[in-house]
Amino acid sequence: MELGLASSRGPAGPSLAVAGRRPRPSLSPPLPCPLSLQIQTRGYSMPTLHHKAHTTVGCQASVAAKYMETPDIVDLDWENLGFGLVDTDFMYMAKCGTDGNFSSGEIVPFGPIALSPSAGVLNYGQGLFEGLKAYRKTDGSVLLFRPEENAIRMKNGSDRMCMPAPTVEQFVDAVKQTVLANKRWVPPTGKGSLYIRPLLIGSGAILGLAPAPEYTFLIYVSPVGNYFKEGLAPINLIIEDNFHRAAPGGTGGVKTIGNYASVLKAQRTAKDKGYSDVLYLDAVHNKYLEEVSSCNIFVVKGNAISTPAIEGTILPGITRKSIIEVAESKGYKVEERHVSVDELLDADEVFCTGTAVVVSPVGSITYKGKRVEYDGNQGVGVVSQQLYTSLTSLQMGHTEDRMGWTMQLN
């Protein structure tokens, strides 16, 4: 589940050397900007970095800084952390040319990148993104959740979009490097998570309709709180039957950037009316459930949990996959199939899943002017609460990971 992060600013540091923040860009002409970075870590071994800032970052002054004694955790208002962009220290970048092989990549200061106006991603939307999270345990170590699944999904999406992709190993290694370089931005236990956004874009200049001649693999991060302002509280959805998110044969099953811009109009209209988000129907029959704007949907009836099948129009969510496995381990019967609106309106309980929301209970559904409400403990159903607690406890390291899904960075 991922939409763009709303913009907000983190606290400004007094200087790069003291607070680990990049300085404001100078208005003077660009100068060569060698950057010596030394990041000390424990556990996962990240080599000492001695890189020149990448030319696309646009350094404006000569900068030399050592990140040896930065605070363990940055000073933020963690209690009021929303789901918005907070500028962090570093990002990861790697390039790929016509040979299809990505460079080894490097950690560079977080900041703007340079693109030609004729870049493939700007003109033809040739781009993919992923979303995953890192959590801080009580002992200070950091956990990643199933990063190899994101790597595989990006690789599958890249084939559909005629793009090369980093290997699973390079993807996971790049995520580790980026998180470790920004470790002080991982929220304290229970206060949020570090949202990780890998991007794969056609950065090469192209005029005619064709795959770009160059690609950029980039990862940035931001500390985040709850995606929905309600937190683990019921959200209110409206079913959209005029606009459709995806159609058979299209790109609804891959995480391409264009899938998300197309839902903004219906989502904005819904939010203006007081709804949390929009639930889309299939484009053929206009009666079977597909997705919320950026979440998968589940319907509970008795001991059975049903969710729309993955048939090319629905994103194969990693949280969706995890919730299915957790639910089955607890004895629920999980069915992946066509789920009709009638079944939804007759359900005992409904919830959404996604990287940002994890599990979000649905308090009401509105369809053609009819509103159906779902009972629960203050709107949170028993199944939603159980699955949310089970998965988040595993993600945060509160319970033993018998699934083998987490990866610890000390």
Report, as residue numbers or ranges, the catalytic residues. Answer: 255
Six token digits for residue 68: 């040896």
| Cα-only R_g, the chain | 22
- Separation of alpha carbons 168 and 217, rounded Å: 13
Q: How many Cα atoms within 13 Å fall on the side-chain side of residue 147?
A: 27
3-state secondary structure of 293: coil
Q: Assign 329 to helix, strand or coil.
A: helix
Rounded to 5 degrees, φ, ψ at 369 are 85, -5
Is residue 69 within 8 A of residue 97, CB to CB? The reply is no
Instruction: Look at residues 103, 124, 105, 102 and name the one whose alpha carbon lies nearest to residue 51.
Output: 105
CB 372 within 8 A of CB 348: no
The owner of tokens 């983190």 is 10
Q: What is the token pair recorded at 172?
A: 């996971």
Bridge-based pairing of strands 333-337 and 304-308 is: parallel
Question: What burial letters (b/e) apply to 309-329, b meaning 16+ CB within 10 Å?
Answer: eeeebbbebbbbbbbbebbee
Query: What is the C-alpha separation between 230 and 232, in angstroms, rounded?
Result: 6
- C-alpha 25, offset from chain centre: 28
Could you give the 3-state DSSP secondary structure of residue 350?
Answer: strand
Q: How far apart are CA 144 and CA 132, in angstroms?
A: 8
SS3 (DSSP) at 21: coil
CB 381, CB 387: distance < 8 Å: no
